[in-house]
């Protein structure tokens, strides 16, 4: 149970049976008046947003959220299948729920899946993944006109900028939070 | 122009990143506080210091005092300053730290700096006048002129500022009538969510004449006992000050305090002891008016920030 004074940005609460995350928060209090808590909330299941002003007498249920370690298995239509490493139970996330994460999903990748009860809501990737470059223009030594970076494509189809010396077949490390090239990985 | 004291270190030598960011703001802060003292000294006000730790804060429904070893840290120096009026001082001002429990937000710190001043023989209209003078004085003192820039707004400090009664504001902007809002205990919500956004304009605004139950220490109007002679100042979207014609009727004051204490009790809040010594002193207090002004927010206006964290040395989170 939360009180209104516990409300803050990113807090997850339950309203009418659904989990909500507070996306914007402002504490408002007229000098002599009562405390008001102006919130923007996003429904974590359907993404709907709304604004509401709460008062100090309001209380909230905590959202029954839990993160589980799971392994990525395979895509199926526009869904992606993951398996619980302890129970072997499988769940599916939609492309929408994955967002940018689908750019970094390779076989057997271990990820954290966020659940509300039994409903999977979203995914947290490891901060870094190592992916094989499947397409890159060849590097001509001494060609300074080409600049400091060039577009390369990795095994998931994701395209990013990498230094000119990165070649096809090599592995590179990518920061999943920014989607940027970090370094070349020697086999 | 601002005279920069020689002791200021260059930013590069300041190790603490936040202090460095706030460096110019702290300079303006010091100048504003110096300017405030100058303003009141020039007008023959006496600067006073009253105790911060007190046994009985004013019982107000929505203001929570921080307990301190059986006593409390004051939420405002109001009661002690009024005892000084009763003791014969006629023009007094104070700059002090106040503490209000659980108040933290973009415009709130649980420990903040307040300016209060009181004068006998006047009412709240004259305090409005002095507020206008004070802001103009400070602006000149900082070398800023009569029209200042605040974020993406222009604030014209020239007299007279805009005056809107609470009743008119409700009629113009609130979806609920004043009566309905009072009945449903949604007055503050209507002011904060529906009225305040309309008070952000090129001139500072005095919102005045509050329902009497919202001015526990304010005198009611002679021709309308349902209205308290109270006003608030709004400037650039900030609520800056709260003022009253002071209530001097002892029985009325005791009744209001009793009511506020009952509200606190209903809400399950700490009830404070009745400030008996203050009530006794009220017998001798002449007609007067006074005001509490948030200095941190005033500094926000002159430094162009919307975040109170930017105008103090350290917030509680940084300690």
Pairing of strands B46-47, B91-99: parallel
For residue A32, give the nearest of B103, B193, B242 by CB distance.
B242
Q: Which of B184, B189, B238, B298 to mutate to test the interface with A (most CBs of A within 10 A)?
A: B189
| Residues A137, A118 within the same domain | no
| Residues A55, A11 within the same domain | yes
Give me the total of CB pairs closer than 8 Å, taking one residue from chain A and one from chain B: 55
What is the distance between the terminal CA atoms of chain A, rounded to a whole angstrom? 51
Tell me the mean pLDDT in the region B123-136. 98
Task: Dump pLDDT digits (tens) for B70-92.
Answer: 999 999 999 999 999 999 999 99
Q: How far apart are CA B100 and CA B109, in angstroms?
A: 8
B contact residues 257-286, partner A, Cβ 8 Å cutoff: 267
Which residues of chain A are modeled with pLDDT < 50? none
pLDDT at B9: 47
Which two three-digit tokens encode residue B185? Answer: 């205990």
Question: Chain A residues with CB inside 8 Å of B61's CB?
Answer: 34
| Residues A170, A139 within the same domain | yes
| Residues A47, A77 within the same domain | no
Record: contact B62-A38, CB cut-off 8 A: no
Dihedral angle sign, alpha carbons of residues A140, A146, A148, A153: negative
Record: contact A28-B239, CB cut-off 8 A: no
- DSSP letter for A179, please: T
Task: Dump pLDDT digits (tens) for A75-128.
Answer: 998 899 999 988 999 999 998 889 899 999 998 999 999 999 889 999 999 999
Cα B259 to Cα A47, B57, B214, B256, B277: the distances in Å are 45, 15, 11, 5, 18
Q: Please determine, for the modelled complex, whether the ipTM score is greater than 0.85.
A: no
| Closest among B145, B141, B146 to B156, alpha carbons compared | B146
Q: Which of A7, A25, A29 to mutate to test the interface with B (most CBs of B within 10 A)?
A: A29
Complete DSSP assignment for A5-33:
GG--TT-EEEETTEEEEEEEEEEE--TTS
CATH number of the domain within which A153 lies = 2.40.50.140
pLDDT at B12: 44
**H or E stretch at A172:** strand A171-175
For residue A26, give the nearest of B62, B106, B267 by CB distance.
B106
pLDDT at B255: 96
Q: How far apart are CA B319 and CA B307, in angstroms?
A: 18
CA angle A124, A85, A81 (to 5 degrees): 60
Pairing of strands B162-165, B205-211: parallel
Structural domain of A118: 65-124
Q: Which residues contact A158 (CB under 8 A, 6 or more apart)?
A: A103, A104, A131, A179
Q: Does A36 touch chain B (CB under 8 A)?
A: yes
Domain end point (choices A85, A102, A124):
A124
**Strands of A56-167, DSSP E:** 59-62, 65-76, 79-84, 90-94, 110-116, 119-124, 128-136, 150-154, 159-162
The overall average pLDDT reported for chain B is: 93
Domain end point (choices A62, A86, A102):
A62
CATH number of the domain within which A20 lies = 2.30.30.30
What is the distance, to the nearest Å, from the Cα of residue B268 to the centroid of all Cα atoms in its chain? 26
| Residues A42, A93 within the same domain | no
Whole-model pTM: value is 0.82
| Residues A132, A178 within the same domain | yes
Percent above pLDDT 90 for chain A: 74
Task: Dump pLDDT digits (tens) for B38-59.
Answer: 999 999 999 999 999 999 999 9
**Cis status, amide bond into A97, omega within 30 of 0:** no
| Closest among B288, B297, B280 to B126, alpha carbons compared | B288
Domain end point (choices A62, A85, A114):
A62
Record: contact A26-B62, CB cut-off 8 A: no
Tell me which residue has tokens 């009569």. B146
Binning pLDDT at 50, 70 and 90, where does residue B7 land? Answer: very low
Instruction: Please count the structural domains in chain A.
Output: 3
| Closest among B119, B124, B74, B128 to B92, alpha carbons compared | B119
For residue A28, give the nearest of B187, B192, B294 by CB distance.
B192
pLDDT at A56: 85
| Residues A137, A87 within the same domain | no
pLDDT at B306: 95
For residue A32, give the nearest of B60, B192, B294 by CB distance.
B60
Task: Dump pLDDT digits (tens) for B145-182.
Answer: 999 999 999 999 999 999 999 999 999 999 999 999 99
Task: Dump pLDDT digits (tens) for B204-236.
Answer: 999 999 999 999 999 999 999 999 999 999 999
Task: Dump pLDDT digits (tens) for B237-288.
Answer: 999 999 999 999 999 999 999 999 999 999 889 999 999 999 999 999 999 9
Percent above pLDDT 70 for chain A: 97
Record: contact A32-B292, CB cut-off 8 A: no
């Amino acid at each position: 149970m939360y009180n209104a004074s516990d409300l803050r940005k990113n807090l997850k609460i339950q309203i009418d049976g659904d989990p909500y995350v507070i996306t914007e928060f402002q504490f408002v209090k007229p000098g002599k008046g009562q405390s008001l808590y102006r919130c923007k909330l996003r429904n974590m299941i359907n993404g709907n947003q709304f604004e509401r002003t709460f008062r100090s007498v309001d209380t909230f249920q905590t959202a029954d959220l839990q993160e589980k370690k799971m392994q990525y298995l395979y895509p199926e239509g526009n869904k992606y299948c993951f398996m619980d490493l302890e129970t072997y139970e499988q769940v599916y996330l939609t492309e929408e729920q994955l967002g940018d994460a689908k750019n970094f999903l390779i076989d057997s990748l271990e990820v954290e899946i966020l659940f509300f009860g039994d409903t999977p809501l979203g995914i947290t990737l490891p901060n870094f993944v190592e992916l094989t470059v499947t397409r890159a223009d060849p590097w001509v030594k001494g060609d300074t006109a080409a600049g400091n970076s060039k577009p390369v494509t990795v095994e998931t189809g994701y395209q990013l900028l990498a230094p000119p010396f990165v070649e096809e077949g090599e592995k590179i490390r990518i920061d999943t939070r920014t989607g940027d090239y970090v370094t070349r990985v020697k086999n | 122009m601002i005279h920069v004291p020689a002791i200021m270190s260059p930013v590069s030598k300041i190790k603490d990143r936040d202090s460095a960011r706030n460096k110019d703001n702290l300079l303006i802060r010091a100048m504003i506080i110096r300017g405030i003292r100058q303003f009141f000294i020039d007008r023959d006000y006496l600067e006073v210091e009253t105790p911060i730790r007190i046994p009985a804060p004013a019982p107000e429904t929505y203001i929570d005092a921080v307990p301190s070893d059986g006593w409390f840290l004051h939420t405002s120096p109001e009661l002690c300053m009024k005892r000084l009026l009763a003791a014969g001082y006629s023009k007094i001002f104070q700059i002090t730290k106040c503490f209000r429990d659980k108040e933290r937000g973009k415009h709130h710190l649980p420990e903040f700096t307040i300016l209060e001043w009181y004068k006998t023989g006047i009412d709240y209209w004259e305090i409005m006048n002095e507020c206008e003078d004070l802001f103009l004085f400070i602006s000149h003192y900082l070398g800023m002129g009569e029209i200042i820039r605040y974020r993406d707004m222009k604030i014209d400090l020239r007299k007279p500022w805009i005056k809107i009664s609470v009743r008119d504001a409700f009629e113009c902007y609130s979806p609920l009538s004043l009566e309905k809002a009072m009945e449903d205990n949604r007055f503050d919500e209507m002011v904060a969510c529906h009225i305040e956004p309309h008070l952000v304009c090129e001139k500072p605004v005095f919102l005045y004449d509050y329902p009497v139950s919202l001015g526990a220490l304010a005198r009611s109007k002679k021709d309308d006992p349902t209205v308290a002679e109270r006003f608030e100042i709004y400037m650039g979207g900030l609520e800056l000050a709260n003022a009253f014609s002071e209530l001097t009727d002892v029985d009325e004051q005791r009744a209001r305090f009793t009511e506020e204490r009952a509200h606190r009790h209903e809400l399950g809040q700490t009830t404070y002891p009745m400030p008996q010594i203050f009530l006794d002193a009220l017998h001798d207090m002449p007609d007067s008016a006074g005001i509490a002004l948030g200095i941190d927010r005033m500094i926000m206006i002159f430094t162009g920030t919307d975040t109170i964290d930017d105008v103090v040395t350290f917030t509680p989170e940084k300690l």
